[in-house]
């Protein structure tokens, strides 16, 4: 007889050593307002003192009581009114006196920084070029060194709690204590050039209250398909959430991804612990992320969608103009605006029925909108192969054995090394003066090159993996003259539709590569005790 299989040993992450905001997006945890501040350190001792002053205020990944009934695990902490987290550019670590023997272990792309790698990311054409970036991110002697991230709760009317201003004052006071040697960098577009304001979009309720919504400026519910990895959730919650959001084996069995894909010092999907800067405690429990300020051209989006939807309605004989617009948006995104995937509801009528059968927002509804794959839709007749979600998370679409019996398939193996954690919040609002509205995205990963840069270059801005030549993502891709989006026929009777003349919908407005250290590494940095030997 075969011995019974033992349950796999789950990773127990060191939550007290991890900075908060990595395991779960603050916006999803009830912190819909944010404020990001950039600082430059002219003197290493002053920069370290600034970090030391803020270190006791840093929010860790220790869990607080959940309004959704998720257990906290072994240690429970009170929910703060406002969180604080720190991250550093390569030049910030250098400016704070981190030894060269430690810094030389950092990956090349982090050392280079986002500005120098703009051509790889598609940020060297159209209005993506750094000359269009917010001044604070453009080439200057005062490089961004330290990023202070504040995320805050709100009252019933959508106003940030007083803790946001109080914590901002504390941060500014810590910089002022340096005698001008730690400088706040101004030059952000928006209501206050001293910092980047962030805010979820809000719905106005009949009684005057305002409720945050999980949507972005184009109207889509955002970040539904974020990865789930080992140790991210306690108990049975992890296995529930990894269905549709983790790794799939080709037979429909889901598991959480390896934590080393996102957090340094842990095994990754190759069962390797990637090389890191010495000492190992400096890198362990840290994470890299790409900070991307992405402007959304809302007026161009609305105008183009309305015009092309007329062509789609005429070609596919769609009588209702609203259905035609919703269908075009869904084909571009791969999901209907509320997050229901085309794989679950291919037509507008089926989408409405889906939401009648399952109550939107319920546990059953959420499970259904994440649990799907693409192997049964190889041609893209249901969900276009070049739609946004098929590019950002290919699931099992790239399985080279997709046409073999399920037991022989590889599932999402080729996709598992490319996942990123999406964090951040929208900024601005429709009709904002100067048109300053979009998303600040923090793309967390263990390897900026293998994960973030690969997805941005190969999958968002190139179409060869999807048999689409140079066609880029119809929503976030770089769209030069002649850009188009081809929507395959849903059946053999209906002709395909070519949505031509796609303008630039999303443009980069700044950013850089950052390292979010562990609490252990923050102490090393602040106290100047990093010893690579």
Whether pLDDT at 434 is above 80: no
- What integer pLDDT is reported at residue 505 of this predicted model? 96
- At 197-210, the pLDDT tens digits run 999 999 999 999 99
Neighbours of 337 (CB within 10 A): 16
Q: Among residues 233, 291, 292, 289, which one has the least CA distance to residue 259?
A: 233
Report d(CA 304, CA 293) in Å as an integer: 23
Instruction: Based on DSSP, count helices (H) and strands (E) in the chain, helices before strands.
Output: 15, 15
Report d(CA 280, CA 273) in Å as an integer: 11
- What integer pLDDT is reported at residue 259 of this predicted model? 97
**In terms of C-beta density within 10 A (0-12 exposed, 13-18 middle, 19 or more buried), how is residue 4 classed?**
exposed
- What integer pLDDT is reported at residue 347 of this predicted model? 96
Three-class DSSP category at 199: strand
Three-class DSSP category at 5: coil
End-to-end CA distance of the chain: 51
Task: Report the chain's mean pLDDT, rounded to a whole number.
Answer: 93
Q: Among residues 88, 24, 99, which one has the least CA distance to residue 59?
A: 24
**Torsion (CA) 193, 198, 204, 209 in degrees, nearest 10:** -90
pTM summary value: 0.95
The C-alpha R_g of the chain, in whole angstroms, comes to: 23
- At 341-389, the pLDDT tens digits run 999 999 999 999 999 999 998 989 999 999 999 998 998 999 999 999 9
């Amino acid at each position: 007889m075969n011995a019974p299989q033992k349950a796999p040993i789950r990773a127990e992450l060191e939550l007290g050593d991890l900075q908060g905001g990595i395991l779960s997006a603050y916006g999803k945890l009830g912190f819909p307002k944010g404020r990001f501040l950039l600082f430059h350190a002219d003197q290493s001792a002053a920069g370290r003192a600034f970090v030391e002053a803020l270190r006791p205020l840093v929010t860790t990944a220790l869990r607080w009581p959940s309004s959704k009934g998720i257990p906290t695990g072994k240690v429970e902490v009170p929910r703060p009114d406002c969180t604080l987290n720190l991250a550093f550019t390569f030049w910030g670590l250098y400016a704070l006196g981190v030894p060269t023997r430690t810094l030389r272990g950092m990956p090349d792309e982090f050392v280079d920084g986002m500005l120098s790698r703009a051509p790889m990311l598609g940020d060297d054409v159209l209005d993506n070029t750094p000359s269009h970036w917010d001044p604070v991110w453009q080439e200057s002697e005062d490089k961004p060194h330290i990023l202070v991230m504040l995320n805050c709760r709100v009252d019933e009317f959508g106003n940030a709690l007083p803790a946001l201003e109080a914590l901002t004052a504390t941060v500014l006071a810590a910089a002022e204590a340096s005698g001008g040697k730690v400088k706040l960098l101004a030059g952000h577009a928006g209501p206050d050039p001293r910092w980047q304001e962030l805010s979820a979009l809000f719905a106005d309720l009949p009684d005057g209250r305002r409720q945050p919504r999980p949507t972005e400026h184009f109207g889509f519910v955002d970040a539904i398909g974020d990865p789930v990895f080992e140790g991210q959730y306690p108990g049975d919650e992890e296995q529930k959430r990894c269905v549709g959001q983790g790794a799939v084996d080709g037979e429909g069995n889901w598991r959480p991804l390896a934590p080393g894909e996102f957090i340094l010092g842990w095994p990754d999907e190759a069962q390797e612990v990637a090389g890191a800067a010495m000492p190992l405690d400096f890198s362990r429990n840290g994470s890299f992320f790409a900070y991307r300020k992405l402007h959304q051209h809302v007026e161009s989006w609305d105008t183009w969608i309305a015009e092309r939807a007329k062509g789609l309605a005429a070609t596919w004989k769609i009588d209702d103009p609203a259905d035609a617009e919703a269908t075009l948006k869904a084909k571009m995104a791969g999901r209907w605006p509320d997050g229901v995937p085309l794989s679950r509801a291919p037509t507008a009528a089926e989408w409405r029925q889906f939401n009648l059968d399952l109550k939107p927002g319920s546990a059953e509804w959420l499970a259904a909108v994440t649990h799907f794959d693409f192997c049964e839709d190889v041609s893209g007749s249901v969900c276009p192969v070049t739609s946004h979600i098929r590019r950002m998370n290919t699931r099992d679409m790239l399985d080279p054995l997709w046409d073999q019996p399920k037991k022989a398939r590889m599932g999402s193996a080729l996709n598992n090394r490319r996942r990123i954690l999406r964090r951040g919040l929208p900024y601005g609002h429709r009709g904002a003066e100067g048109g300053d509205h979009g998303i600040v995205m923090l793309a967390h990963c263990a390897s900026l090159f293998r994960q973030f840069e690969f997805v941005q270059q190969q999958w968002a801005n190139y179409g060869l993996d999807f048999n689409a030549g140079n066609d880029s993502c119809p929503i976030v891709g770089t769209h030069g003259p002649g850009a188009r989006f081809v929507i395959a026929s849903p059946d053999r009777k209906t002709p395909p539709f070519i949505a031509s003349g796609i303008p630039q919908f999303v443009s980069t407005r700044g950013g850089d590569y950052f390292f979010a250290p562990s609490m252990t590494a923050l102490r090393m940095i602040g106290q100047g005790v990093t010893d690579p030997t």
